[in-house]
C-alpha cells in the first residue's frame, strides 16, 4: 500500500516543504511504478536524486507486486496520484 498518511509533521524533518505535498507524492508513485518493472531504472525528478541504471533486489517471486493507493484520514484521492502505469486500484 502506498499512502499519503494523515500527518504532515515529519515533512520538515526530512527537508520537505509542505507546499510540495502533491508533487512529492506523485513523483514517488511514478518512481515506484518504474521500480515495479524489476528492470534497471534510469529516472530523474525534482524531489530526489536521479537514478541511473539502478536495479533493486530482491525481485518478487511472481514478477509483480500488488499495490494500492491509500489516503489518510481527512484526505481525498487525487486522480493524478495513481498513474495508470502503476496498475493500482
Strands (E), 35-75: 41-43, 51-54, 69-70
**Among the listed residues 4, 33, 7, 25, the one whose alpha carbon sits nearest the alpha carbon of residue 80:** 25
- Residue 41, SS3 per DSSP: strand
pLDDT tens-digit readout, 5-62: 677 888 888 888 889 888 988 999 999 999 999 999 999 999 889 999 999 889 888 8
What's the pTM?
Answer: 0.72
Residue 64 has which C-alpha cell? 509483480
Spatial distance between the Cα atoms of 67 and 1, rounded to a whole number of angstroms: 5
- Predicted confidence at residue 43, as pLDDT, reads 93
Amino acid at each position: 500500500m502506498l499512502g499519503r498518511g494523515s500527518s504532515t509533521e515529519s515533512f520538515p524533518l526530512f527537508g520537505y516543504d509542505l507546499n510540495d505535498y502533491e508533487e512529492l507524492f506523485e513523483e514517488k508513485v511514478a518512481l515506484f511504478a518504474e521500480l515495479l518493472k524489476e528492470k534497471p531504472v534510469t529516472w530523474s525528478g525534482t524531489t530526489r536524486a536521479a537514478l541511473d541504471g539502478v536495479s533493486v533486489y530482491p525481485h518478487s517471486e511472481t514478477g509483480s507486486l500488488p499495490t494500492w493507493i491509500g489516503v489518510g484520514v481527512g484526505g481525498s484521492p487525487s486522480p493524478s496520484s495513481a498513474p495508470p502505469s502503476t496498475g493500482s486500484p
